[in-house]
Structure 1
Amino acid sequence: MLTTRRARTLTRTAIATLALATTAAIAPAAQAKPDSPTSPPTTGACAFTPLDDQTYSTWVGLPPDPKNAQTKGNASVVLKTNHGDIPVVLDKAGAPCTVASFLYLTRQKYYDGTDCHRLTAYHTTPSALSVLQCGDPLGSGWGDPGYWFKDELTTAHALPNWPGFADGSRKNYTRGLLAMANGGPDTNGSQFFLVYADSRLRPDYTVFGEVTEAGMAVLDKIADAGVAPGDEGYPEDGAPAMATTIERAKRTGGL
């Protein structure tokens, strides 16, 4: 079950099997002055589109959108958390619009001071889902940047099939991947997840980078602490027991 509204009503079973949901609502944007919450979509390759419902949005403008997608090279960003640095390498070739949005939000300090609000710990097949979800300025799973953009799923479809799914309907989002959370098709915003153990998912989540070995050591430390007791989905799904804040996101290199 994947919602396209912001109310997060996923059952534990649905979350375990498929859902890495954000809660963005999408509707055509009204005409207004450029780069306002009611401006039209950008006209470049990515068509960044303001959300009609800005109730839970933290608006920092729309990313630059060149006519042709920027697909050459990689970019490096470090997520400086209260538990150590998590460097990530972004794949422009596989997901140019996603990378463009992520880098823009990083430049705007959008991620600075935000909490990673969700840790999943479904380690038993078939409900394998082991991720840390971050990128929500509200720290609740509801927040978004006030715009959406389309999925880029070529890299997701190229992932290995999960055992028993030769048709590719379930993929192995392998340890170390960086991917976008969403609330359904073409609802990408700011929320993303870091995979700390192989996870079974539909190929519906844009893969746009990898966590470095040094970053995985920090991610493992957070994951090993588990889910905070008392959360509704405890012990498999909820806020991380080791409360995790991205104190600063900073670009460190790349084209």
Structure 2
Amino acid sequence: MATNQQRREAAKRKLDRQQARRMDRSKRRKKVAAITAAVVVVVVVAAVITLSVLSSGSKNPPPANSAAPTSSSAAPPPPSAVNIPTQVAPPLKRPTAFPATVNCAYPADGQPAKPATPPPGANVSAQGTVPATVATSAGQIGLTLDRALAPCTVNSFVSLARQGYFDNTSCHRLTTSPGLQVLQCGDPTGTGSGGPGYKFNDETYPQLSYGRGYLAMANAGPNTNGSQFFMIYGDASALTPDYTVFGYIDPGGLQVLDKVARAGDDGSMDPSPGGGKPNMKVTITKVS
């Protein structure tokens, strides 16, 4: 028969075995939980990687700063939101008319961008008009050159046209902002700095204003006219009366200019002098 001491020791051994089993079960549960959590993490990571790989092959739009692919058969740029007024400006008349003939001076001015000879300057007519056609890659632009407005300017323009000075040259600058909507041409270098190797005086007057349909000379300051000219297709209210107007653009020519303007410019000349090269390239093939 077991003594009390023996019974106490047996009970203690039983309790120790029970505690050991509980500790073993607890360790196994923790180990299983840890393994399960690890498996879940692996599955989630694998799923994320799989989705990433799949989505990288989809045709998502490129980021805004990525380069667009180029192609010779690429579609033209979308139309610009430029607001072009449709009202054509009325014909101009000088407040004081020139005499029937004037004398013009065409002094030398740097190296010509393309070989050119200044026109004769004596007894230049200040009466009547000269029709002209500017054939371009964007379409044909008809002009009426007005000797009564600017005889020396018309004399120079006609001379350069007859010499082929404008042939195969590009219109290098387009502006579309309100107050200055023009296409500038007449520089064989396409940079805005080229001229015919001579210059001549302005034929402006203080009351001069500008509007849709006018043809005017570009310059680098007072009395520095050369070969560069601009065609006003829209608003030009920002211009001060410092640019010689010497003719007008016909309705068909304005439609060509509107088309070029709506294609926009590349902004390469912003903020000064403004605008940039036309997105729709304009090459003058012949002025006749």
Instruction: Measure, in 2, the Cα distance between the counterparts of 1:247 and 1:223.
Output: 19
Counterpart of 1:225 in structure 2 is: 263
Question: Tell me, what secondary structure is at the counterpart of 1:79?
Answer: strand
Aligned residue identity for 2:279: A
Contact 1:178–1:211 under 8 Å retained in 2: yes
Q: Unaligned regions of 5+ residues in structure 2, if any?
A: 1-101
In the TM superposition, residue 232 of structure 1 has moved relative to its aligned partner by: 4.5
Q: TM-score, normalised by structure 1?
A: 0.69
Aligned residue identity for 1:190: S
Are positions 1:47 and 2:105 aligned together?
yes
RMSD of aligned alpha carbons: 1.5
Counterpart of 2:254 in structure 1 is: 216
Contact 2:141–2:249 under 8 Å retained in 1: yes
Counterpart of 1:97 in structure 2 is: 152
Instruction: Measure, in 2, the Cα distance between the counterparts of 1:151 and 1:246.
Output: 25
Contact 1:228–1:242 under 8 Å retained in 2: no
Aligned residues: 184
Counterpart of 1:187 in structure 2 is: 224
Q: Unaligned regions of 5+ residues in structure 1, if any?
A: 1-43, 160-170, 251-255
Greater strand fraction, Structure 1 or Structure 2: 1
Contact 2:113–2:195 under 8 Å retained in 1: yes
Counterpart of 2:233 in structure 1 is: 196
Contact 1:113–1:246 under 8 Å retained in 2: yes
Counterpart of 2:25 in structure 1 is: none
Q: How does 1:142-157 map to 2 (within 5 A)?
A: 142-154=193-205, 157=206
Counterpart of 1:248 in structure 2 is: 286
Q: How does 1:1-255 map to 2 (within 5 A)?
A: 45-51=103-109, 53-54=110-111, 57-66=113-122, 68-123=123-178, 128-154=179-205, 157-159=206-208, 171=209, 173-199=210-236, 200-228=238-266, 231-233=268-270, 237-250=275-288
Percent sequence identity is 48
Change (3 A) 1:69 1:211: same
Greater helix fraction, Structure 1 or Structure 2: 2
Contact 2:115–2:165 under 8 Å retained in 1: no
Contact 1:151–1:188 under 8 Å retained in 2: yes
Q: TM-score, normalised by structure 2?
A: 0.61
Higher relative contact order, structure no. (Cα contacts within 8 Å, ≥ 6 residues apart): 1
Counterpart of 2:27 in structure 1 is: none
Instruction: Measure, in 2, the Cα distance between the counterparts of 1:45 and 1:80.
Output: 30
